[in-house]
Amino acid sequence: MKQDLPEGAIRPPRSGDENGEGSAKGPRSPLAAAEIEGIWTAAVAALGWAVERTDAAYALSDGGGRLRIGVEATLDPEDAVAQLIFHELCHGVVEGPVGWSRPDWGLSNCDDRDVIREHACLRVQVHLAERHGLRELMAPTTEFRAYHDQISGDPLRNERDPAATLAARAVERPSSRPWMDVLDRALAETRGRLDASATAQASPDPGALHPVGFAFVQDAPQESCGTCSWLYRGGRGRPVPRCRQSADRDGIGRRTDPRFRACVRWEPPVSCQACGACCREAYHAVTVSVRDPVVWKRAELVVRNGHRFEILRAGDRCAALEERPLSGGQAEAGPAIPPQPSAPHFSCSIYDDRPRPCREFEAGGPHCLTARRRVGLTA
């Protein structure tokens, strides 16, 4: 739909933004690469159209054979020219020849008149992108992201949604065939480029940086983002693989790929028994609800602090934390090989009755990372 940006205007609201305001910083889309942008610019040219970058629009058709795509300053960090072109060309499929000669495909963004046509466009997107594994990357970043993400099953077959019928008719229209072929080819080339990039990241050049910004690990080349404790799926809209170690102030980590070679921040999955950071000096209190079983089962471990109940502390640690050395033992090869040093082993004396904050604490989550950093276990 039409996305003009008159002088002094801000960009359109994105999914996950508050009050239509986006973060000035954030992880870039993997599609924001010159080679992939070139694929989609060529796709537009194959249809006899052209791409024009402008600071007066987000993304639209001018009705005269040009797609007007915003310059970088007008786009959200997770936007990419490829994704915006793909979305506009899917509009072209839905609207057909009549819409090609109308500004912004003849649609209006001043009211809800054309919402069904926007939904039909998104169904065409899913129909095309899903077969190439690009549904997430090609998803819109506007307020229509929620509709896109709830599409399930065959996007062109849904008797309860008239947008599905509209999308099905559009892709079956004879005039849509050249557009569908161009889109499918561009998606296949994009998938190939992304796969080639992932392969290159598995064996990086000396001195190269990991896509999340850290140096590549040198002493564990067999490890990857997929085996790292800090890989998670999340972000605004549909969850995608991200690195928790690279999170900015907004708490959203940079996008990554489980196939990428590990960076210097790589760590194996967190072992609570070998860590115990959250129960040690990382935090100074655990609040207890009067409904938590520990209140009456282990009353000696519950103290009152003003209007709150908390678990008793033993110095800087939770009084329920138990620590004992766990010896690695002596190797069987003989005295020439020194014994392994002992390592601490942590456990909780009230684990079965632990309070709700402890039950909800996520191993490998953002607070886990903070706790490990505070006690010096993680960089």
Band of pLDDT at residue 127, cut at 50, 70 and 90:
very high
Tokens of 321: 């934390």
Could you give the 3-state DSSP secondary structure of residue 323? strand
The pLDDT tens digits of the residues spanning 268-294 come to 998 999 999 999 999 989 999 988 999
Query: How many angstroms separate the CA atoms of 305 and 314, rounded?
Result: 15
- Cβ atoms of residues 66 and 50 within 8 Å: yes
Least confidently predicted of 25-39, 91-105, 112-126, 214-228: 25-39
The kind and range of the H/E element at 231 are strand 231-234
Residue 68 confidence (pLDDT)? 94
Residue 132 pLDDT greater than 50, yes or no: yes
Query: How many angstroms separate the CA atoms of 368 and 375, rounded?
Result: 11
Query: How many angstroms separate the CA atoms of 119 and 147, rounded?
Result: 7
Band of pLDDT at residue 4, cut at 50, 70 and 90:
very low
The kind and range of the H/E element at 172 are helix 162-172
Bridge-based pairing of strands 287-288 and 254-255 is unpaired
